[in-house]
Amino acid sequence: MLKRRRAVSRGARIAAASAVADIIAHTFWLGPGKRIGIYASMPRELGTAPLIRLALARGCEVYVPRITSLRSRAMRFVKFGDGSNRGGTLHALGMVEPDTNESLHARFLDTIFVPAVALDRRGARLGHGLGFYDRTLAFRHLRRHWRGPRLVGLAYSFQVVPQVPVTATDVLMDLIVTDRGIDELLADEN
């Protein structure tokens, strides 16, 4: 799947990122005061720049992941700002993290847009195998009713596959958005 993702041309990556932002623009997920978690895309991942711009334009508070410990695979979400503060630090995994100390635990976000290597229609997600998101979102396993925040897996349409292996520690996505639209999950298995 990584090889296939690397083969996506620059033009197709830009078009897919714009398509995803356009699709999300028609949902109720972004609005004034909403706290949105979103990854700062690494090369070859589905780009998030158009979605970040949209969220900021709609008055959202935007937070991006910051790795707090590589050893324990821990991360928090730090405030992105108004988009004018483009400064940041490139960490060991290749993502840019804003130079700010204003952070928020994931449980206080309204929606988190999560990167994926592959997803299935049960909401199972395959990442890069380091477990940062699963550890950060593990509190969702303890909730019986509302399991917020809403988790939205972002991917190219070819990354939605019939089945992704699942372990007991995996946190399932609530929805999947690809460059082709919002994929409905199988309700009886999620």
- Residue 35: give its domain's CATH number: 3.40.50.10420
Q: What pLDDT is recorded for position 187?
A: 58
What CA–CA distance (Å, rounded) separates 116 from 98? 22
Let me know if residue 112 belongs to a domain: yes
Per-residue confidence (pLDDT) for residue 147, from 0 to 100: 66
Domain total of the chain: 1
Check residue 93 and give its pLDDT. Answer: 44
- pLDDT of 151 reads 94
Domain that holds residue 15: 2-148+163-183
Cα distances (angstroms) measured from residue 26 to each of 4, 54, 181: 29, 11, 11
Residue 168 forms part of a structural domain: yes
Cα dihedral 34, 96, 183, 171 sign: negative
Predicted pLDDT at 100: 63
**73 in a domain, yes or no?**
yes
- What integer pLDDT is reported at residue 96 of this predicted model? 53
In a domain, 83, yes or no: yes
Indicate whether 189 belongs to any domain.
no
For residue 43, give Cα distances in angstroms to 8, 29, 49, 102, 126: 11, 26, 12, 26, 17
> Per-residue pLDDT for the chain (190 aa), expressed as one digit of tens each?
889 999 999 999 999 999 999 999 999 999 999 999 999 888 889 999 999 999 999 999 999 998 877 777 778 899 986 544 445 554 444 445 555 677 888 999 999 999 999 999 999 999 886 788 999 998 888 866 666 799 999 999 999 999 999 998 899 999 999 999 998 787 554 4
CB-based contacts of 148: which residues, under 8 Å, 6+ apart?
Answer: 107, 110
Is 156 within the bounds of a domain?
A: no
Domain annotation covers residue 190: no
Nearest in space to 65 (alpha carbons), one of 33, 94, 25, 43: 94
Residue 157: its pLDDT value, please?
Answer: 95
Residue 173 lies in a domain: yes
